[in-house]
Chain A
Amino acid sequence: MAEIVSLQSAIRAHLHDGDTVAMEGFTHLIPFAAGHEVIRQGRKDLTLIRMTPDVIYDQLIGAGCAKKLIFSWGGNPGVGSLHRLRDAVEKDWPQPLEIQEHGHGDLSNAYVAGAANLPFAVLRAYAGSELPKHNKNIRFIQCPFTGETLAAVPAIRPDVTVIHAQKADRKGNVLLWGILGVQKEAVLAAKRAIVTVEEIVAELNAPPNACVLPSWTLAAVCHVPGGARPSYAHGYYDRDNRFYQAWDEISRDRETFLIWIKKHILDTADFAAFQKVLAETGKEQLV
């Protein structure tokens, strides 16, 4: 059964130095509040997995929390580069970052294999691509029935998966909807899962076939309204596109980035305090 606890205690109890961590959410429901708390608690040597590292991992990488990144598309969606990711890969700052890269179909299949407790995923891709030359975790096998050559990638089994969702009930059952990405698979593939939610309600009133993660599949549920900002929560708030654009300037320069992280994350007590500081700074002076 999931415990309903503060985000601070959930990260302290379940996410440790050196863990393999997946914080998923395909543009939608990105667990930013949890990412910030990991930075605040100074976690080190994490292996981070995410299909689209997005601004959330750019922050973790720049803050020195990561030693390795497993991903399939590392840009700032609609804006351009993730500068902290690039600085780590191109210039080893703030420390070298080992990367293991895949394609979306491949990585999403690897989560499915993890959730299904299979050793690997199989797909029809990569014939002719140079990615397998640089990633020994993309290999080829022959179908035992037809002889066709197919790509194989090892299952993903994170120590911890963190996602954000719209609702939980008081027992810790979680409901999410909209663009679901690989959140369900990432939770079921993980040893432990933490979910932050917009609200805790008496009844989920979920229709049959809705995406519900039962309380007993989760380690912790945390009530963090706005916890996916600046990404969005369908039915609650829109994506803050201006923040994504502002991030380009905040993150371009190491000094500006460090000042921003200190003021907004390290020097704030929690995500509510962060949002207050962000609002006070004013969007015009985000940078």
Chain B
Amino acid sequence: MSAANYSTSEMMTIAASRLLKNGAVCFVGIGLPSTAANLARLTHAPDIVLIYESGPIGARPDVLPLSIGDGDLAERADTVVSTPEIFRYWLQGGRVDVGFLGAAQIDRFANINTTVIGDYKKPATRLPGAGGAPEIASCAKEVVLVLQQTARAFVKKLDFLTSVGHLDGGDARKKLGLPGKGPVAVVTDLCVMKPADVTRELTVTQLHPGVTREQVQKATGWELRFAKNVEESVPPTDEELKVLRDLLHRTAVAHGQAPAA
């Protein structure tokens, strides 16, 4: 790769943030999704409504939360409701446009695992578990996934299916009566994938600058499909990079992980 003035991780966060439309109601997971959603809010989507599962609606945190229930989320929200209410009225009630999630493992139909690596009863690695993901994956009108692309994460077969993507493809979601459309995009540090029209299998539609098809294939545990016209992602703008870096720096200072400038 040429000497770019940004990292692959920055490209991933910025590419994910661009998928969020201004004014969208977005149910945000902690970590990468929260970073990308707040970047969208601070750049092209000032009227985006961020909902966190701990209860804040319309959150505008000054720094990124370390936990899903940081006080700053509540302090700077339009309102704060109880956890049952967030899930019953707001998510299940059909008011969420985009569910924005991460995952430990993902398969070719964007089903995700956040439960165990290995056997469920005797796991090699016990992961944190479902959190709100099964309900978000079912009920949000659309789902966007963001995660680092490695062959360990992008697997042929999940060790455990925690939250549904497109199941075994085609109209499987519809047959099960799931209210939301499911994953519409997977954003990684290498590329952007979208489900194909009929099969719903993930297809690379966009490669980040300098990334080759071979590189993406190597980081994927199944034989990857590429769209007819694979586009190159627009590199991060100076403005996007500045806002993202400022946000991450403010966050590190606030959480005692970096000295104040």
A interface, CB within 8 angstroms of B: 26-28, 51, 71-75, 77-78, 81-82, 85-86, 89-90, 101-106, 108-109, 111-112, 123-131, 134, 148-149, 178-182, 184-185, 232, 234, 238-239, 241-242, 244
12 cross-chain CB contacts under 8 A: A26-B83, A78-B30, A102-B130, A105-B134, A109-B88, A112-B88, A127-B176, A128-B167, A129-B134, A130-B115, A178-B80, A238-B71
Question: Is B130 a contact partner of A112 (Cβ separation < 8 A)?
Answer: no
Q: Smallest distance from the beta carbon of A101 to chain B beta carbons, Å?
A: 5
Tier of interface size on chain B: 35 or more
Q: Knowing A27-B69, A131-B134 touch, does A180 contact B82 (C-beta < 8 A)?
A: yes
For the complex formed, measure the closest distance between the CB of B4 and the CB atoms of chain A, giving whole angstroms: 29
How far apart are the CA atoms of A78 and B70 in the complex, in Å?
A: 10
How far apart are the CA atoms of A26 and B132 in the complex, in Å?
Answer: 13
Interface of B is mostly: loop
Chain B residues whose CB sits within 8 angstroms of the CB of A239 once the complex forms: 66-67, 70-71
Tell me, in angstroms, the Cα distance from A3 to B162 when the chains sit together.
44
Partner of A123, one of B55, B56, B92: B92
Q: Which residues of A contact B82 (CB under 8 A)?
A: 108, 180-182, 184-185
B210 close to A (CB within 8 Å)? no
B161 within 8 A of A: yes
Is A71 a contact partner of B129 (Cβ separation < 8 A)?
Answer: yes
B162 touches A131 (CB 8 A): yes
Residues of chain B with a CB closer than 8 A to A149's CB: 177
Min distance, Cβ B31 to any Cβ of chain A, angstroms = 8
Q: List, in ascending order, chain A residues with CB within 8 A of B258's CB.
A: none
B216-241: contact bitstring with A at CB < 8 Å (1 yes, 0 no)? 00000000000000000000000000
> Which of B67, B125, B177 is in CB contact (< 8 Å) with A77?
B67
Whether B84 lies near A27 (C-beta < 8 A) is no
Could you tell me which B residues sit within 8 Å of A by CB distance?
Answer: 30, 53-56, 65-71, 73-74, 80-84, 87-88, 91-92, 111, 115, 120, 122-135, 138-139, 160-164, 167, 172-173, 176-179, 255-256
Given contacts A26-B54, A73-B128, A77-B66, contact A129 B161 (CB under 8 A): yes
Q: Is the CB of A129 within 8 A of B163?
A: yes
- With A112-B84, A127-B138, A179-B74 already in contact, the answer to whether A72 and B129 are too (CB < 8 A) is yes
B161 / chain A contacts, CB cutoff of 8 Å: 128-130
Are the CB atoms of B256 and A179 closer together than 8 Å? Answer: no
Bound CA–CA A74/B128 (angstroms)? 4
Please indicate the chain A residues that have their CB under 8 angstroms from the CB of B54 in the complex: 26-28, 179, 181
CB-contact partner of B160 in A105, A111, A125, A130, under 8 A: A130
In the complex, what residue of chain B is closest to A233 when comparing beta carbons? B71
Complex-state Cα separation, A123 to B178, whole angstroms: 12
Which residues of B lie under 8 Å from residue A242 when comparing CB positions? 256
**Chain A residue at smallest Cβ distance from B84:** A108
Contact B66 A74 (CB under 8 A): no
**In the complex, what distance in Å separates the CA atom of A154 from the CA atom of B88?**
17
Q: Which A-chain residue is minimally distant from B116 (CB atoms)?
A: A89
Q: Which of A86, A104, A232 contacts B87 (CB 8 A)?
A: A104
Query: Counting chain A CB atoms within 10 Å of each CB, which of B120, B122, B134, B255 scores highest?
Result: B134
Query: What is the chain B residue whose CB lies nearest that of A115?
Result: B84
A186 to chain B, nearest CB (A): 10
Closest to B130 in A: A103
Question: Would A105 and B91 be within 8 Å (CB), given that A128-B176, A129-B161, A234-B74 are in contact?
Answer: yes
Residues of A within 8 A of B138 (CB): 124-127
In the complex, how many angstroms separate the beta carbon of B115 from the nearest chain A beta carbon?
8
